[in-house]
Amino acid sequence: MKSKNSLLRNFGFAFEGLKTAFVNGRNFRIQVFVGLAAVFLGFILRLDPFEWLDLTLVIASVLILELMNTAIEAIVDIVSPEIQPKAKIAKDVAAASVLVASIASVFIGAFLFLPKILNF
């Protein structure tokens, strides 16, 4: 089956999704700014290449999960506009995935940054 959209247009859709998440998603904006602060701190503390890899993967994981959470919430709202127990479960579990990744990112950030801050 051949795609109706060009590769460039598909990238446009993806960037539109990022824009929508950033403009409409308070949590996504917070996570982007925290990620940028971590990158800034990484430059100040001169992370080594493997530490940059860890930091990049952690930031990307949190942002990816937040994007997926937003998508799941939108889909659930479409198919179940009224409150239903199973719809609530879907939304709550999707949000929990972001929470787990965020908590893990705090611990990983502490492992990456605290030794460098203490020796700064």
Residue 1 lies in a domain: no
Q: Which domain holds residue 56?
A: 7-118
Report the residue count for the chain: 120
Residue 94 lies in a domain: yes
Query: Over the range 51-65, which residues count as b (16 or more CB within 10 Å of their CB) and which as e?
Result: beebbeebbebbbeb
Residue 71 lies in a domain: yes
At 14 the pLDDT is: 96
Instruction: Give the predicted TM-score (pTM) of the model.
Output: 0.90
State yes or no: is 66 an active-site residue.
yes
The CATH number covering residue 21 comes to: 1.10.287.3610
pLDDT digits (tens, 9 = 90+) for 56-100: 999 999 999 999 999 999 999 999 989 899 999 999 999 999 999
Residue 89 lies in a domain: yes
Number of domains in the chain: 1
Q: Give the integer Cα–Cα distance in Å for 67 and 17.
A: 9
Residue 1 exposure: Cα atoms within 13 Å on the Cβ side: 3
At 23 the pLDDT is: 97
At 91 the pLDDT is: 97
Residue 2 lies in a domain: no
Candidate list 16, 66, 73, 82, residue with the active-site label = 66
